[in-house]
Amino acid sequence: MEHFQNPKNVGEISDADGVGTVGNASCGDIMQMFIRVNDNKIAEATFKTFGCGAAIATSSILTDRIKGATLDEALKISEETSKEILSQLPKDKTPCFTIAMDALRLAIEEYRCKRMGIHEKGGFDSTKMEKD
Ligand code: FES
């Protein structure tokens, strides 16, 4: 409830290193995650969403937890947070959190692809991505 009433990390990073945008097919809502990366660690993570209270609260929790983490750690934290949050959310609210996870994954993917200079027509080729 605290993260719903006073969400943290709301907004856009204007010159973000990575941005991920995902739609929730079940409701039509949109989630955007923004990351700034310094020394291969997430220095800042924010989100914007047209989603529901569950999407807002879980994105607030996720963005808070990944600050200071390496990119691989952030993905791991995302998985761990997922298990914790999904065990507490009603089943019909599952996509409200998974769009935050997916948007974070895409933001990290975009950052890694930019760093590698991979800008292929039609999108990024995730098979060419490097690890931390
Ligand atoms: Fe759309 Fe939750 S109902 S994100």
Q: Tell whether 21 is covered by a domain.
A: yes
27 is catalytic: yes
Q: Is 58 in the pocket of ligand 1 (CB under 6 A)?
A: no
Using CA atoms, how far apart are residues 55 and 72, in angstroms rounded to an integer?
Answer: 23
Residue pLDDT, tens place only, 65-114? 999 999 999 999 999 988 888 888 888 888 888 899 999 999 999 999 98
Q: Is 54 in the pocket of ligand 1 (CB under 6 A)?
A: yes
| In a domain? residue 91 | yes
Please check whether residue 41 lies inside any domain of the structure: yes
Q: Are 97 and 89 in contact (CB under 8 A)?
A: yes
| List 10, 19, 27, 75, catalytic entry | 27
Domain that includes residue 56, residue range: 2-117
Residue 122 in any domain: the answer is no
**Which runs of consecutive H residues, i.e. helices, occur in the chain?**
2-5, 53-66, 71-86, 94-116
Pocket test for ligand 1, best of 49, 52, 97, 98 (most atoms within 8 A of CB): 52
Residue 129 lies in a domain: no
Question: Which atom of ligand 1 lies closest to the CA of 27?
Answer: 1
CA distance 43 to 20: 16
Give this prediction's pTM: 0.85
Q: Look at residue 67 and tell me if it is in a domain.
A: yes
Q: Does any domain span residue 128? A: no
With respect to residue 109, please indicate whether it lies within any of the assigned structural domains. yes
Q: Domain of 47: which CATH number?
A: 3.90.1010.10
**Ligand 1 pocket residue status of 31, Cβ below 6 Å:** no
Number of folded domains that form the chain:
1
- Going from the C-alpha of 74 to that of each of 24, 91, 116, 127, the distances in angstroms are 22, 24, 19, 19
Does pLDDT of 127 surpass 80?
Answer: no
Number of neighbouring beta carbons within 10 Å of residue 59: 31
